[in-house]
Amino acid sequence: MIPKVSRGALVEYGLSLPPLILEFEFNPQTLSRTRSVSITTGNAPGTRGGYDFAFPWETSRVAQGVSVEPEQFSLDILLDATDRMADGNLPGHTVAVEFGIEPELDTLRSMVEPKVQGPGGVQVLAGMGLGSPRAFARDEHPSVLLLVWGSHVLPIFLTSVQVEETAHLPTLRPYRANVSLSVQVIEGNNPFYHTEKIRQALGAGLHFASGAGNALANLF
């Protein structure tokens, strides 16, 4: 029996025409997460790599000059209309037979193009004549997206999109493509990031309770 492929989604957070939602398949083994820490100790005497310390309560002073960059993700996803094209009972069959995955790729492109705020606060593509020809001018902005997979719902910006079309219909419309995405997490005062931090803290507590505390005691 072939295991069911994991699925995720990108959802634009905001009002847009049309609403932007992209569901996709991906292999969790290809997801990488990166967080960078910048350390500057200045001209403090006798220090290399951090300020001097002797006790745990001095850690706030030790960390002077340290800044943490937002977390970044890289993941490979699969867009494939093969099943929908073959099975007339699946949702989207008619669209897939004629257009393949072109509607999904159009959605993805719309997620990374500049937006402007139109009447009623609705977001509209800047290329439709409502914005500057320059990307992300003062009255334009990128899409705020939610990356949804497993137990995670993270607010992000897409920073890079690379599409490799691997199969096409006779009309040259693609029906299968591998897509490489790079994203940056929006780590601020928003409910999605707060929820992720709570989930992360609970996970760390579960790890400690499952035996990490005993391992720590054995080290000292």
Which residue bears the tokens 């005062």? 189
d(CA 25, CA 157): 20
- Contact indicator for 202, 131 with CB cutoff of 8 Å: no
**Between residues 6 and 181, which one has the greater pLDDT?**
181
Summarize pLDDT for 150-189 with one digit per residue, the tens: 888 999 999 999 999 999 999 999 999 999 999 999 998 9
Amino acid at 198: I
User: For residue 44, what are its two tokens?
Assistant: 């403090």
Closest to 135 (Cα-Cα) out of 115, 154, 117, 120: 115
Residue closest to 183 by CA, chosen among 37, 67, 31, 66: 31
Overall pTM surpassing 0.85 (yes/no): no
pLDDT for residue 167: 95
In the predicted structure, residue 112 carries a pLDDT above the cut 70: yes
By three-state DSSP, how is residue 77 classified? strand
Q: Tell me what pLDDT residue 173 has.
A: 95
pLDDT tens, residue by residue, 14-61:
887 778 999 988 766 678 889 998 877 666 655 666 677 788 888 887
